[in-house]
Amino acid sequence: MIGGQTGDVMIASADVSDGIAVKAAHKAIVTTLGDPLVLVNSAGGNVRERHWANLAAASAAELIDLDLKANFYCTLAVLPAMRAQHDGRIVHIASLAGVALTPVTGPSYSASKHGLVAMSASLNAEEGIHGIRSICISPGEVDTPILNTRPVPLTAEERALMLQPEDVADVVVFCATLSPRACVAELILLPTDSYHVRAQARSIEAMVRR
């Protein structure tokens, strides 16, 4: 948490997939810095054995807890004060897997991100009258540690072509600092040279050149 007036930074460590831990962290933050007006839900993860043929029930539950339920816990913690202040921005870092079929991510991750997109839309539908804006950003591949769980390792060259964390952060700041009358409800952010269409693009280029 960063204090709005002073710029003070406070770290309240918590397992955001645990609703009780989220409440405790939120209480500590509010006691020290006051109620937050901006929440960024960015926690997420995946597992190596993620596809239907090798997915364990415990792994599926763990992913849903972290990639979907944690967003509910954090959002529910800040909503009452945002309503009272008639102001608030809740930014969800979803995924391209939440708006399109991306088999590489696995069913639990994809289902969680689809749920997150729907959750954000319902927030805008119900809470816009209270001055609360829910911003759902769905990036394509981002070079973060989550890629280390990929069943097939990626090369440094492949990761360099992906979005970087600072690219996503820039978009978050832009969306969260718009006029209160404007809400970026959904935004898809892709690498310029996107892995998901690269092979098709090269095939088209080869065909055109013949």
State the SS3 of 122-141: HHHHHHHHHCEEEEEEEECC
Residue 198 confidence (pLDDT) above 90: no
- Each residue of 52-102: pLDDT tens digit? 999 999 999 999 999 999 999 999 999 999 999 999 999 999 999 999 998
Q: Closest Cα to residue 94, out of 139, 35, 49, 57?
A: 139
Q: Indicate the average pLDDT of the chain.
A: 94
Other C-beta atoms closer than 10 Å to the C-beta of 26 total 22
Residue 44 CA to residue 35 CA, distance in Å, equals 24
This prediction's pTM: 0.91
Residue 210 confidence (pLDDT) above 90: no
Question: What is the CATH architecture of 37-209?
Answer: 3-Layer(aba) Sandwich (3.40)
Residue 159 CA to residue 104 CA, distance in Å, equals 15
Residue 45 confidence (pLDDT) above 80: yes
Residue 4 confidence (pLDDT) above 80: no
- Each residue of 145-177: pLDDT tens digit? 999 998 988 899 999 999 999 999 999 999 999
Q: Angle 59-67-80 (CA atoms, 0-180°, nearest 5)?
A: 135
Q: Give the pLDDT of residue 166.
A: 98
Q: What single DSSP character describes residue 100?
A: S
Residue 8 confidence (pLDDT) above 90: no
Q: What single DSSP character describes residue 47?
A: -
Q: Please, which residues have CB within 8 angstroms of residue 138's CB and are 6 or more apart in sequence?
A: 94, 95, 96, 98, 99, 113, 117, 186, 187, 188, 189
Q: Closest Cα to residue 134, out of 125, 143, 146, 124?
A: 124
Stretch among 62-76, 125-139, 194-208 having the lowest mean pLDDT: 194-208
Higher-confidence residue of 144 and 198: namely: 144
